[in-house]
Amino acid sequence: MADHDEAMCRQVDGGVTRVFEVFGKRWTGLIVATLMPGPVHFADLRRAIPGISERMLSDRLMELAVTGLVVREVDAGPPLRVAYRLTEAGRAMEPSLKELSRWAETYLAEGGQCPERFRK
């Protein structure tokens, strides 16, 4: 095993830091996962994510748009409707989200607790 000084051991990977700056915010991962199959209208997106307020959904969608993961599309109608879709960068998260979901099924029971058999 290589020797590491204390400073090296405490550094967090820059890529991991950037990922959690975006996906560490509540609701962001659920929004991206909901958009994975294709574009979704705002009202449908709100209904698909229980507990999220319209304000929070709007804020998170704006953040994801600024980050370049989501695009807002306006259908002039009538009636006027707004849909959101993932960009190529957003869709590229699919394998990671699927892997996180598999990990949660194995290691996180309902309620977010790691089963006793994995605590060793």
| Most distant CA atoms of the chain, gap in Å | 66
Domain count, the chain: 1
Residue 3 pLDDT: 55
User: pTM for the complete prediction?
Assistant: 0.82
Which CATH number goes with the domain that contains 67? 1.10.10.10
CB atoms within 10 A of CB 32: 22
Q: Which long-range contacts (CB under 8 A, 24 or more apart) does 54-58 make?
A: 56/26, 56/27, 57/27, 57/31
Task: Please give the residue range of the domain that contains residue 67.
Answer: 14-118
Low-confidence ranges of the chain (pLDDT < 70): 1-9, 111, 120
Residue 31 lies in a domain: yes
> 21-31, pLDDT tens digit by residue?
999 999 999 99
Residue 88 lies in a domain: yes
